[in-house]
Amino acid sequence: MIKLSNNYLTILTISFLFLLVAFNGKTKVIDVVTELLEPYQIKNPDGSLGGFSTDVVKALFKITKDHPKIQIMPWARAYEVALHNPNVLIYSIAHTKLRNKKFHWIGALKKERLYFWGLKKYYAKTNYKVPALKKFKIAVSRNSNSAQYLIAQGFSNIYQLANERQNMDMLFIDRVDLILATQITIETRAKNLGYDFNELQRLNEVAALNNKLSIAFSLHTSPTLIKKYQTAFKQLVTSGQLKKIKEKWKLY
């Protein structure tokens, strides 16, 4: 039988108590869901997750001292996970009227301006009336704010795909006529996928989709956790750290 000294037993006891406090105390492991969406969530060359929004989320967790368990998945799945499970953080999610009461909103990352995009060779003009656009085939991500908007507006030729990259592929092989995206997202995505951005034509701005890209928690989340993260996000803003991250990514 191995005998332990009193000093060693004391160290073991202190270590155990420390771990117990860390596990049951303020520090938590938080489930986080997101998608790949340039330049907000991108895969770095080493396979890690980067991007503007990811940098903000990492800075947020440094303040809260919690540990993010980030899972990358198609947007439709990420949305469903956050919609139906407690204590789940989701980013980057557009803060729309339809979603306002379905999540707890932690903070706004960036104001978005969305446009319809098509191949330049097919469009002689850039401004179309909404009824005229309804005849075109449009690719969007499933459960995205764009999909929700088009359905609400009575568009019927909608192709709901797993991710935004598939939307662009479908456009360049003439399987659809239009996609919806911001200027910076479509420029970055075209470059990453090897397409020529100059072949794309920006059509109508969709003012109804100009919402704030945000960080949110699922509806059945602890009020204490929500307040903790809202306070931390305010600290990011007031300290100027959020501004510095935007400058790093050239997002103004």
* pLDDT for the residue 15: 40
- Count the neighbouring beta carbons within 10 Å of the beta carbon of residue 251: 14
Confidence (pTM): 0.82
Query: What CATH number should be reported for the domain whose range is 114-209?
Result: 3.40.190.10
In residues, how long is the chain?
252
SS3 (DSSP) at 252: coil
Calculated CA dihedral for residues 115, 119, 120, 121, nearest 10 degrees: -150
Alpha helices by DSSP H, listed for 25-51, are none
Distance of alpha carbon 176 from alpha carbon 28, whole angstroms:
44
DSSP symbol at 208: G
Q: Which amino acid, 19?
A: L
Q: Where are the domains of the chain?
A: 29-111+211-248, 114-209
H or E segment at 68? strand 67-72
Alpha helices by DSSP H, listed for the chain, are 6-24, 52-64, 75-84, 130-133, 145-152, 164-172, 183-193, 223-238, 241-248
Distance of alpha carbon 92 from alpha carbon 111, whole angstroms:
11
CATH level 2 (architecture), domain 29-111+211-248: 3-Layer(aba) Sandwich (3.40)
What does the pLDDT profile of the chain (252 residues) look like in tens digits?
A: 444 444 444 433 334 333 333 444 467 999 999 999 999 999 999 999 999 999 999 999 999 999 999 999 999 999 999 999 999 999 999 999 999 999 999 999 999 999 999 999 999 888 888 888 999 999 999 989 999 999 999 999 999 998 888 999 999 999 999 999 999 999 999 999 999 999 999 999 999 999 999 999 999 999 999 999 999 999 999 999 999 999 999 997
Which stretches does DSSP call E strand in 155-238? 158-161, 178-182, 200-205, 212-218
Beta strands 178-182; 114-119: pairing state: antiparallel
